[in-house]
Chains A and B, each alone.
Chain A
Amino acid sequence: MKKLFGRFGAIVGLAFAGFAAVGAADFKPVLLYDIGGKFDKSFNEAAYVGAHRFEEETGNGFKDFEPNSETQYEQALKRFARRKADLIVAVGVGYSVAVRNVAADFPNVKFTVIDAIIDLPNVQSITFKENEGSFLVGMIAAMKTESRTIGFLGGMDIPLIRRFERGYRQGAEYVRGDLTFIENYVGTTPSAWNDPIKAAEMARSQYARGADIIFSAAGPSGLGSIQAAKDTGNLAIGVDSNQNHVAPGVVLTSMLKRVDLAVYKAMKAAQDGHWSAGHNVMGLAEGGVDFALDEHNAALITAEMKAKLDDARAKIVAGEIVVGDVEGSNVGH
């Protein structure tokens, strides 16, 4: 019996040694998605695009994991940390608590977490100034509206989404002061991200009350808002990734959040050896947020509008315009 255990131990030991050898030979980062799936045409997909770019440019592959529920966050982090992954990138504010716990237990493993702020010596936190990007799309809405009424549709009512609303309002008011705002939140639980029917109903109500442009920061629910815009002949503004192609001519623009860039930069920096822990903020100046302009909405954005937007962008980068923020946007629960 003892002999058997000994042999078993040896095999296990060999297996681990083999694994460690592979790990040391080339750089292998790990990417952990948020719930929603890899190809969600939004947040997670953007992260995948960034990691994929890293793979193509450097020839180094990456491992990834799609959790099905929040309980798997910590489990997955621990598993990869125990295997001594070179860098673990976790996407989404939902990972806050899990990363804080696991990073404290594995001080020699590097963690990058996106959308959350964690103050540990081995964690790099990357957040975005969504309010700055929203400021620009707010300007576009204000310049485009004919009814002088614009709408905002948030997904789950959390500080992060209030931050989008804050920037949007401020940007719109920067253009003109005589606007009416209508805003709605789909819900107060995570199911609010996946309720396109309710989102469409709220968008219809806003359009019927006079809004002609609605900015929805509501994840997949936002597709309901775009559908409502299409059905009623109004305009919608997309969010996170470029959604202009979803309904060309109906989507006025999209507020881009460059999660792909953040993931790519983190992996590249870790490979090149200048990855550092701490808090990185990606705003307009860093190219972290922007509005989308492509062949699908080129006809909707005039040169004059473009000039005004460039001017405002320069002012925000220079600090002449300060876009208001909402407390607690990057705090997990």
Chain B
Amino acid sequence: MEFFTDLILLLDSTLRTATPLVLAGLAGLIAERSGIVDIGLEGKMLAAAFAAAAAAAVTGSPWAGLGAGIGASVALALLHGWVSIAQRGNQIVSGMAINIAVAGLAPTLANFWFRKGGQTPLLDDEARFSAITLPFADALADVPLLGGLYSELLSGHNLITYLTAAIVPLVAWMLYKTRFGLRLRAVGENPEAVDTAGISVTLLRYQAMIITGVLCGFAGTVLSTGLGGGFIRDMSAGKGYLALAAMIFGRWKPVPTLLACLLFGFVDALQGRLQGVDLPLIGEIPVQFTIMLPYVLTVVILAGFAGRMQAPKASGIPYEKDH
């Protein structure tokens, strides 16, 4: 029974940890499917986290925060788009530049506006996307097994986590079942063909960058106003890069990307749980080792189990009309 309770706690933590990863992973997926490599996910998330926390602190509304977060992220996505599409610049350099610029700019602005050493004020509960208790969760809590599953695991997450559960099928549907999705996939594989068919490569790629920006905006907003209660410098803590790894592990497909993010989230929760615990036979595992686990797993998975990776063919290559 204790094992079951532990498992539910781990899975519960997995859902929370995976939320920003899934959103950022899908953002990267849309960008790469359209032919633009975006390692600036981290920077966009951080910018969104800062903008959301700042707006929510000033207005007291998480919705204003979400709006500001998405706004900031889309602006950066369009900047990356402009460099990659119009200027045919190096996409890795542009993405990296965004990451570095935001890492410095966000705490500087926070210090300028709030005078708290690069942090925003801690948000009140009304200014955050607080935990939502699903109907009957309290009443069902005592029902064996199912009660725990429902009231602990499924209930008590923030709005954006629930939204994410809807966004994954939505992105999958858009990518595989709509005309826009078909064109998006085509432009990442063979932009010449799309161009020949009379469809604008430039417009499609800008549209993809806007979607990427919106998704990263959600990811950043959930960090500072859902899971946390304010902005702290570098709070994205490498999640943008981890999302990129999850996307590659998920072979640029929405559902496998979701599963990869859940796996990363689970291992992260597990490593926290294993710290300082006496395991039978092995004894206590040193902290340094448990903290290593998620990264070791990433390397093992990418090297061993993922098989041949097939990135979209035109990914990272600027499109030039006159070859």
Contact = CB atoms under 8 A, between A and B. Distances in A.
B94 interface: no
Contact of A196 (B228, B272, B288): B228
A224 B272 CA distance: 15
A36 B117 contact: yes
A194 B272 contact: no
B275 A194 contact: no
Q: How large is the interface on A (under 10, 10 to 19, 20 to 34, 35 or more residues)?
A: 35 or more
Contacts of B276: 182-184
Contacts of B232: 194, 196, 220-221, 223
Interface in A26-44: 36-42, 44
A196 B287 contact: no
A218 to B, nearest CB: 11
A224 B234 contact: no
Contacts of B287: 157, 185, 188
B213 interface: no
B235 A196 contact: yes
Contacts of B233: 36-37, 194, 220
A204 B9 CA distance: 9
A39 B17 CA distance: 29
A205 B122 contact: no
Contact of B117 (A45, A157, A197): A45
Nearest to B17: A201
B32 to A, nearest CB: 25
Interface string B206-247: 000000000000000001000111101111011000000000
Given A183-B276, A196-B228, A200-B227, A37 B13 contact: no
Contacts of B151: none
A185 B275 contact: yes
B270 to A, nearest CB: 10
Interface string A192-203: 001111101110
B9 A187 contact: no
B131 interface: yes
B223 A197 contact: yes
A194 B230 CA distance: 12
B237 A197 contact: yes
Contacts, number: 103
A14 to B, nearest CB: 36
Nearest to A199: B228
Nearest to B289: A188
Nearest to B152: A208
B228 A224 contact: yes
B111 A227 contact: no
A184 B275 contact: yes
A246 B233 CA distance: 18
B250 interface: no
Nearest to B286: A157
B88 interface: no
A7 interface: no
A224 B233 CA distance: 13
B137 interface: no
A247 interface: yes
Contacts of B272: 184, 198, 201-202, 205
Contacts of A220: 119, 232-233
A147 interface: no
A75 interface: no
B81 interface: no
A205 B290 CA distance: 16
Interface string B175-192: 000000000000000000
A209 B9 contact: yes
Nearest to B10: A205
Contacts of B268: 198, 201
Contacts of A185: 275, 287, 291
Contact of A200 (B115, B116, B228, B269): B228
B69 interface: no
A191 interface: yes
A45 B237 CA distance: 24
A195 B235 contact: yes
Contacts of B9: 205, 208-209
Interface string A311-322: 000000000000
Given A37-B111, A185-B275, A44 B117 contact: yes
A231 interface: yes
A68 B275 CA distance: 32
Given A37-B111, A227-B229, A194 B235 contact: yes
B107 interface: yes
Interface string A120-139: 00000000000000000000
B17 to A, nearest CB: 6
B269 A205 contact: yes
Contact of A223 (B13, B115, B230): B230
A198 B272 CA distance: 9
Contacts of A40: 116-119
Q: Which of B13, B223, B235, B276 has the most CB of A within 10 A?
A: B235
A205 B269 CA distance: 9
Contacts of B237: 191, 194-195, 197-198
A6 B19 CA distance: 67
Interface of A: 36-42, 44-45, 68, 157, 182-185, 187-188, 191, 194-198, 200-202, 204-205, 208-209, 220-221, 223-224, 226-227, 230-231, 246-247
Counting from the closest, the 8 A-B pairs by CB-CB distance are: A40-B117, A37-B117, A39-B117, A227-B229, A194-B234, A195-B237, A202-B272, A220-B232
7 contacts: A41-B117, A42-B117, A195-B237, A198-B237, A227-B122, A230-B229, A231-B130
Interface of B: 9, 13, 16-17, 20, 104, 107, 111, 115-119, 122, 125, 130-131, 223, 227-230, 232-235, 237-238, 268-269, 272-273, 275-276, 287-288, 291
